[in-house]
Every structure is written in structure tokens, then in C-alpha cells.
Amino acid sequence: MRLGVIGYGLRVSSIFPALQSEELGYSIAAIADPKRDELKTRLGEEARHTQFFDNADEMLDSCELDGIIIGTRCDLHTDMALKVLRRHLPLYLEKPVATTYEDLSRLKAGYEASRSEVVVSFPLRNTPLVRLAKEIIDSGKIGTVEHVQAVNNVPYGGVYYHSWYRDERITGGLFLQKATHDFDYINYLIGLKPIAVCAMKSKRVFTGTKPAGLKCSNCEENRTCEESALKPHNRHGDDYCSFAEDTGNEDSGGALLRYETGMHVNYSQNFFARRGAARRGARLLGYKGTLEFDWYTNELKVYMHHEARVETHAIDVSAMDGHGGGDGILVNNFLQAVRGKERSRTTLGDGLLSALLCLKANESAETNTFQNVEWP
């Protein structure tokens, strides 16, 4: 299979680590990236069979390709996806699929007019933890899920203030960066339609009066600041000051999601938790029992409400790849979709709904209103 890449960034290079994979049966035959000369030098002999282009149109018009992978920065996802959808090629699309209501509407229309099979980069719903949770929930063991408490305490949150992720014009904000994953796996687990969102966000930590554009390397406090990029655990590619007046991004947020049955989800995300405070997972409560899981412990527990029994499932992740084993499953699903042997497990419809929820959450937080989940 000859694959083309639009935007060969860190994410794409980590989940498709080999430009040629005889084992998986694909080659990265073409890459479109404005840094093409830099990429050719960096990839060297590994890229001897790969063609490089300055832009996506040139690549798509010049090459016979079996599938396309989009890994550009977030604000370009929609425009690049529409180019591929018009050609009806299988597509692997990074999240968030859109960062504005306008892009969301354009992408929805393009998807409905296309024959492309689209795999959206939602690894969490593909992880062994969520697949086991889905199996238990669908068995009826805990009863119908009537309440969800979900949390994401991000221990590497500095990346959203040091690097280009601090620019909300590119990212669309942190609901679209992080909650898009969590909203997707929650939707998958409970299998209900969300109808309303109420959200809040706060910026209380990563704010300050340091001059705009200041970098840690030029700051007199770079040896004492806990967020200094000179410290190995804070190195995220760039070293912009986390306490400057141009930092961008809230540092915590929360959302209430109401679903069609009347049940609701309580979701919280935080970007200044560190070390052992890290947590990502959920509690799903039914009348018969409560199920909870956490990707940082790789454990799932079921607490039975009406008998003295707790079940504990430990997931062995020693041989798994990124996102708790979800990345490898995503890539394989895309490759099988290119071959015509599988349908997408994380469709563009899923991606559109998750992005809509995130945009509504952001609007709710900024306007202090409840937002109905309706297509703009």
C-alpha cells in the first residue's frame, strides 16, 4: 500500500515510525510538508523511496496513492481533509477534526458527499481498558449507566504553555485538545446521544506579567522556576515562558453533559497536576454496581452495590504501544480500511460529534450559558 502524508509531525512519525514496513505492508510513498527539505535531510536514507512536496495539492495531483494520513497542526485539519474527501481516498485524520463551527459545518458536508473511509485518531476507545469496560457495561452487570464521573489530570500540561499549543488560534483551546478524546470514549461506552452542555474554565496558575514572547533560555529565573524548560521533564520542543502575558489556554476546565435519557456526565480536566496526581479515567455508575478505570494505573474495578464483592482487572501494558495500546489498534484499523477489509472503528461522524461537544463546551464557558448540542 502506497500511503501519503500531509504534515509529517511528531504524532504521525510516532505512530507510523517506519517509512517502509514490509511486516504491515505499507510504504510512505509521498510526504507533503512545508519543511520538506529539512525532513529529507533528517530522514536521510530511510526516505530514499519517498517523494517530497511543498503542499498537499501537488502531492495529491502527482501521485497514485492508496490512502492519506493527515498530521498537520490543528487549524489545518479541515482544509486538508476536504482535499482528500473530494478524492474519495481512505483517510487517517488527527484530532480535533475541526476547530471552529464554520470548519465543522464544511467538514460535515464534505464527509456526507464522500465515499472515503475515515479513521479519526481516537486511541482511547480502542484501548484494552475501554474495550473491557464496554464488554462489562453491555453485559448488564452494573445495570444501566445513570451517572458518569470522568477526570483528566494531565501531568505533562506544560506542553500547552511552552510550545505552539499555547496559541488557541491554532488549537481551538484545551477542550478540543484533550476533552475531545474523553468525550469520544464516554459517548462510546454509554451509547447515548448528548443533548446539552454546560461548562466552565479557569486560568489561575499559568498567568503572569512576564513579557510576551519571553523564552526560558532568556529568563533570569530559569534556574529556580518549576516550569523552566531547562529542566529535563519540562522540555516540550519550545521553551516559551509559562507565566508570560501571552501564554494562552486555561489551566483547568469542567463540563456537564446531559444525554437524551436525562442522565448526565461530570467531566473535569486539569493542566497543573504533576507526578502522582496524574489521573485519566472514569467512574460509571449503575444501580447494580460501579465500574471505574484509570490509564495511569492500568486497572479496572467493578464494585457490586448489593453484594460484598469487588472485581479487579489489571491490564498488562508491557508490550503495548502508545495511549495504553490504542495507537497500534488505530493504525491497524486504518491499514485494513485501506485494504477494504475493515470499516473504521472511529469514524468521522464520531470525530464531528466530539468536536461539536468541545466547541459547545467552550462557548458555554465563555458565555456563562447552557448550550444545546445542535449542528450549527
Strands 264-270 and 147-153: parallel
Query: How large is the average pLDDT for residues 239-249?
Result: 93
At CB < 8 A and 24+ separation, what contacts does 58-65 make? Answer: 58/32, 59/4, 59/6, 59/30, 59/31, 59/32, 60/4, 60/32, 60/84, 60/87, 62/30, 63/2, 63/4, 63/29, 63/30, 64/2, 65/2, 65/3, 65/4, 65/29, 65/30, 65/89
Main-chain phi, psi angles of 3, to 5 degrees: -105, 150
Check whether 237 has a pLDDT greater than 70: no
Confidence of residue 290 (pLDDT cuts 50, 70, 90): very high
| 240: β partners | 215
Return d(Cα 268, Cα 254) in angstroms, integer.
Answer: 4
Check whether 30 has a pLDDT greater than 90: yes
What does the pLDDT read at residue 376? 77
Pick 2-122+329-346's CATH classification: 3.40.50.1100, 3.30.565.10, 3.40.50.300, 3.40.50.720.
Answer: 3.40.50.720
Are the CB atoms for 318 and 118 separated by under 8 Å? no
Q: What is the pLDDT of residues 328-362, one digit of tens each?
A: 999 999 999 999 999 999 999 999 999 999 999 99
141 Rama class: left (phi>0) / alpha (psi -120 to 50) / beta: alpha
Q: Tell me, what DSSP letter sits at residue 164?
A: G
Q: How far is CA 186 from the centre of its chain?
A: 14
* 3-class DSSP assignment, residue 62: helix
Question: Taking the model in full, what pTM does it have?
Answer: 0.95
What does the pLDDT read at residue 233? 81
Q: What is the pLDDT of residues 20-29, one digit of tens each?
A: 998 999 999 9
Q: What is the pLDDT of residues 66-76, one digit of tens each?
A: 999 999 999 99
Query: How large is the average pLDDT for residues 312-318?
Result: 91
Main-chain phi, psi angles of 8, to 5 degrees: -90, 75
Q: What is the pLDDT of residues 44-88, one digit of tens each?
A: 999 999 999 999 999 999 999 999 999 999 999 999 999 999 999
What mean pLDDT value characterizes the chain?
95
Query: How large is the average pLDDT for residues 190-196?
Result: 98
* 3-class DSSP assignment, residue 290: strand
User: Cα Rg for the chain, rounded, in angstroms?
Assistant: 21
Q: Which residue has the cell 489551566?
A: 251
For the chain, the straight-line distance linking the first and the last C-alpha, in angstroms and rounded, comes to 38
Are the CB atoms for 55 and 31 separated by under 8 Å? no
Main-chain phi, psi angles of 198, to 5 degrees: -130, 130
Residue 80 buriedness (CB in 10 A; 0-12 / 13-18 / 19+): buried
What does the pLDDT read at residue 234? 80
